[in-house]
Amino acid sequence: MKVTKIIKDKSNKYKVIIDDIEYILYDDVLLKYSLGLKNEIDKSSFNDLLEYNDFLTYYYISLKYIQNRLRCEKEVRTYLSKKNVDKNIIDRVIDKLYNDSYLNDYVYIKSYINDSINLSDKGPFKIKQELINLDLDINLIDETLDTILSKVDLNKRIENIINKKIKVNKDKGSNYLKRKILFSLINLGYNKEVILSVLNSITFNDTDIIKKEREKAYNKYSKKYSGYELDLKVKSYLYRKGFNIGDMYEE
C-alpha cells in the first residue's frame, strides 16, 4: 500500500491518500508510523494505523469533554460508552488520560468537595455519597473530605441554612418549621445531632406570625362558619401551620 499524497487539514489532522483512498489521520499517526510521500505500508501495519487513529479520535473527544469541566474516570467511561466506543479503546483512552494527568482522582475529589461547599448547601454525608457513586476511592474521599472540612465551621454553615429557611417560611409555626428544617438538613447530608444542637440554640418567635395567620384564618372561615365551629376551623388551620394549640390565643 502506497502513500501518494499528504495534505495538511484543520487542527492536528492530515488528509492522506493511500492507494487512491483518502484518510483523515492525526499528526501523531504520521509520526508513529513514519508516513511520508511515496512510503509504502503493509496491510497489517495499515490496520494498526487505523486502529491507533480511532483511539486518538476518542482520546481527543474525551479531552474536549474534560476541558469543558473537570471529570472523573466513571464520567468519561459513561460518556464514551454512550457513543458505542469499544471497551478496549475506552480502557486505552482512560490509561492515556491518567498518564497525561488529565484524569486525577485527588484533584477531582478536592475540586468536587470545594465546589459543593462553596456553591451549594450540601453537607458531608451527601458529598461523600455522591463521590462514592462516581466509583472514587473511599479512603481518598474520607482523607480529602476530613482535610477540607477541618477548615469549615459546620455549625455556622447549618445556622446560615436554618436562617435562610426561616426567612422563606414566615407563615409557618415553629413546630412545623423545626421538623421541616431538620428533615431538609438531614437530606442535605448533615449529622442529626449537630442539626438539633444548632436548631435548639435558635429562638423561634411565633407571636407576630400567629396573630397574622389567625387573622387570615378568621377572615377566610368567618364567611361560612361561626361560633364553636369557626373556632375549630381557625385552630385546625393554625395547627397545620405548626403552631402550638396552647399559644393560639395568647396575645
CA atoms within 13 A on the CB side of 233: 16
Of 86, 121, 152, the one marking the end of a domain is 152
Same domain, 22 and 91: yes
Assess contact for 238 and 248: CB atoms under 8 A: yes
What's the structural domain count of the chain?
3
* pLDDT tens digits for range 140-152: 999 999 999 999 9
CB-CB contact of 55 with 89 (8 Å): yes
**199 within a domain of the structure (yes/no):** no
160 in any annotated domain: no
Predicted TM-score of the model (pTM): 0.79
Same domain, 138 and 61: no
Q: Is there a single domain that holds both residue 124 and residue 93?
A: no
Question: Model confidence over 22-80: pLDDT tens digits?
Answer: 999 999 999 998 887 767 888 898 999 999 999 999 999 999 999 989 999 999 999 99
State the Cα–Cα distance between residues 226 and 101, nearest whole angstrom: 75
CATH number, domain with residue 12: 1.10.10.10
pLDDT tens digits for range 152-186: 999 999 999 999 998 888 777 777 788 889 999 99
Q: Is residue 192 part of a domain?
A: no
Last residue of a domain, one of 75, 99, 123: 99
Looking at the structure, tell me whether residues 27 and 55 fall in a common domain: yes
Does 93 share its domain with 116?
Answer: no
Distance (Å, whole) CA 204 – CA 59 = 57
Query: 140 lies in which domain range?
Result: 104-152
For residue 38, being part of any structural domain is answered with yes
Q: Are residues 27 and 84 in the same domain?
A: yes
176, part of any domain: no
